[in-house]
Homo-oligomer: A and B are copies of this chain.
Amino acid sequence: VARESQIVLGLDPDPARLWPEAVDGGTGHGPAAERAAAAVTAHCRAVIDAAGPACVAVKPQLACFERLGAPGWVALAAVAGHARDAGLLVLADGKRGDIDVSAAAYGQALVGSTPTPFGAVAGLGADAFTANPYMGIDTLTVLTDAARRAAAGVFVLVRTSNPGAADVEDLALESGGRLWERVAAIVNDLATADEGPLSDIGAVVGATAPEHVARMRELMPRSTFLLPGIGAQGGRVEDLAPAFAPGRAGGLVTASRSIVLAHEASGSSPAGAARAEAERLRAAAWAL
């Protein structure tokens, strides 16, 4: 917030679609996975250098790093470190959810550390991460407890921006309301365990359905919303403003391809186009 931005820079690097400067430089002659991971690291560093000053956080999509195996995990740690050095928060987007000991292990991986006979092994050190609520409250509380111990945040999937959100999240319940409204109530229960006007337990709320965002705000008055779906997925920042009147909890707008691939439409340099698009979004979203 001190940066006067509510833009979260999504990092979902596709090794087949990196900025040319990242592919050309410093990749050496090792195995393909290591060369690709080095190029992904260079690409994400360049994106952060270009667009980061207009953003408050980066959101690495863990799948995009995992597909490069161990070198991908090295790249993820390097990119997270670069973002932190640039003064940005790191929001690990893995949408994890699992039972007791497995959820605890995800907490150790993302925001904690793991005791071993050889000393503690530090995790990614993220400032926040996304979580999936399907398996219930006991699976979420293990994650939120881990986050609180690390002074980190959790964004729980509530109503996402994809067409398939209609298949499960939108199902009408016998007790009234939709499934996502019930999940929003669960998130709010977790959030109200905090002190203060804002909770560290937020919600992922697709920006492609602005009418839902207002209802979400009623159900989760103290949660920060993470709003994917702007840009490439068709959502518009301007449509979201009513849910974020002054004095209410805020929203973070995530944008990935619309920033990173802005040069494909504009014809200018990747870095210049990314910076311009991030600045445009920053100005548009500052009211949220």
Contacts and interface: CB of A to CB of B under 8 A. Distances in A.
Of the candidates A32, A108, A115, A179, the one having the most CB atoms from chain B within 10 angstroms of its own CB is A32
Interface residues of A, number: 78
A162 B135 contact: yes
Contact of A105 (B63, B100, B109, B171): B63
Contacts of A157: 134-135
A158 to B, nearest CB: 10
Interface stretch (A83-91, A119-127, A240-248, A267-275): A119-127
A286 interface: no
A212 to B, nearest CB: 15
Interface in A1-56: 12, 14-16, 18, 23, 27, 32-33, 35-36, 39
Interface stretch (A71-79, A192-200, A276-284): A71-79
B39 A109 contact: no
B36 A121 contact: yes
Contacts of A162: 99-100, 135-136, 138-139
B179 A164 contact: no
Contacts of A117: 15-16, 18, 23, 36, 39
B168 A133 contact: yes
Number of copies: 2
B33 A134 contact: no
Contact of A32 (B27, B118, B160): B118
A210 to B, nearest CB: 18
B114 A61 contact: no
A134 B132 contact: yes
Nearest to A161: B99
Contacts of A151: none
A135 to B, nearest CB: 5
Contact of A164 (B77, B102, B135, B161): B135
Nearest to A134: B134
Interface in A65-113: 66-74, 77, 93, 95-103, 105-106, 108-109
A168 B136 contact: yes
B114 A68 contact: yes
30 contacts: A16-B116, A18-B117, A27-B118, A32-B116, A32-B118, A35-B116, A39-B117, A61-B105, A63-B96, A63-B103, A63-B106, A66-B73, A66-B106, A66-B109, A67-B121, A69-B109, A69-B123, A70-B70, A70-B71, A99-B162, A100-B162, A133-B134, A135-B157, A135-B164, A138-B163, A138-B167, A139-B162, A140-B164, A167-B186, A179-B179
